[in-house]
Amino acid sequence: MAELDLILTGRRKDLGGFSVSRVLPSARRRRVGPFVFLDEMGPARFDPGAGIDVRPHPHIGLATLTYLFEGEMDHADSLGVHQTLTPGAINVMVAGRGIVHSERTGPKARAAGHTLHGIQAWIALPDDAEECEPAFHHHDPEELPRFERGGAQMRLILGSAWEHRSPVRTFSPLIYIHAEAPAGAAIDLPGGHGELAAYVVSGLIETGGEPVGAGRLAVFAPGEAPVIRVRADSRIMILGGANIGERHIDWNFVSSRKTRIEQAKTGWRASIAGGFKNTPFALPPREHEWIPLPGDPEPGSPPAQTEDCPTS
């Protein structure tokens, strides 16, 4: 049917005891509104002593939003923020002109063993905010509006929907909702949000006459007023917003300008070479590791061996 544009399937990647499914960007669809990146993390079970350790790495030109269904995760950044994220709360990191952060399992969760399951989204900043000052915002679950719609329980994470509005600061018109929907629910998605999509975390929905199962993203045609019909108890993330224009993505950098991404790459290399002292990027406090640019040597790697040129 006309209201459904396409269905995308996430691509699973094993990170060593921890699986991530990347839904956006895709070869068939680079973004939905300002959402340029969507990852489902887990679900994964960590034995005592194990956890995730995403070493410090830089970002520009975007806001990252991390939301958990299970488990916990520690965020640390170059602003000096250290925040533990738990289910139902959100961490929003605004990279702007540049920030560095790490994501790790905290000591208590690591010692006890735990399950981790959640969604991380990257939201491209509009042209006039790409170079804003970096910032970090945490919101507890009770700060986010909760309501019932079409038989489903909704939590409004970002933007406005129907008569509800999230208190979380945004930089362009968008919407992001977590829905827990029993079989038989029918959700009429709100209009006026430009591009819209629905990601099925678990369960089964039908929209536009097509079934959409777990791990798949239904992308709707612009200007349509789609309805989600829930065929089995489902967990759904609804997202979208105004199209803010072309965005380039290279590693962890997002920008409307390729030259700005090259500048950020040069700045990251210079920061590593300068020991993160008075350099374009700084490490979070008490962090001493980092992730190099793809293809660059890992910290502590021996220098590449070269052969002497023959003389004549």
Phi and psi at 107, nearest 5°, equal -60, -40
Stronger pLDDT, 208 or 212, i.e. the higher one: 212
CB 139 within 8 A of CB 155: no
* pLDDT category of residue 306 using cuts at 50, 70 and 90: very low
Cα–Cα distance measured from residue 39 to residue 216, given in angstroms and rounded to the nearest whole number: 11
Question: 260 by DSSP, 3-state: which?
Answer: helix
Predicted TM-score of the model (pTM): 0.92
* pLDDT category of residue 223 using cuts at 50, 70 and 90: confident
Task: Compute how many other C-beta atoms are within 10 angstroms of the C-beta atom of residue 312.
Answer: 3
* Amino acid identity for residue 147 in this structure: F
pLDDT for the residue 304? 45
Cα–Cα distance measured from residue 138 to residue 120, given in angstroms and rounded to the nearest whole number: 14
Break the chain into its structural domains and give their ranges: 4-241
Quick one: average pLDDT of 103-115? 94
* Amino acid identity for residue 7 in this structure: I
The per-residue pLDDT for range 233-284, each reduced to its tens digit, is: 999 999 999 999 999 999 999 999 999 999 999 999 999 999 999 999 999 9
Is the pLDDT at 312 greater than 80? The verdict is no
Cα–Cα distance measured from residue 240 to residue 24, given in angstroms and rounded to the nearest whole number: 12
Residues facing 20 on adjacent strands: 13, 41
- The structure tokens 């068939």 sit at 28
Bond prior to 43 in cis (omega within 30° of 0): yes
Q: Token pair of 70, please?
A: 């299970």
Domain 4-241 has CATH 3.40.50.2300: no
* pLDDT category of residue 192 using cuts at 50, 70 and 90: confident
Q: Token pair of 258, please?
A: 């390729």
Cα angle 43, 49, 50 (rounded to 5 degrees) comes to 35
Cα–Cα distance measured from residue 285 to residue 100, given in angstroms and rounded to the nearest whole number: 11
Q: Which residues are CB-neighbours of 236 under 8 A, at least 6 positions away?
A: 152, 178, 179, 181, 187, 198, 199, 200, 201, 203, 205, 228
pLDDT for the residue 267? 98
- Convert 233-252 to b/e letters by CB count within 10 Å (16 or more is b): ebbbbbbbbeebeebbbebb
* pLDDT category of residue 222 using cuts at 50, 70 and 90: confident
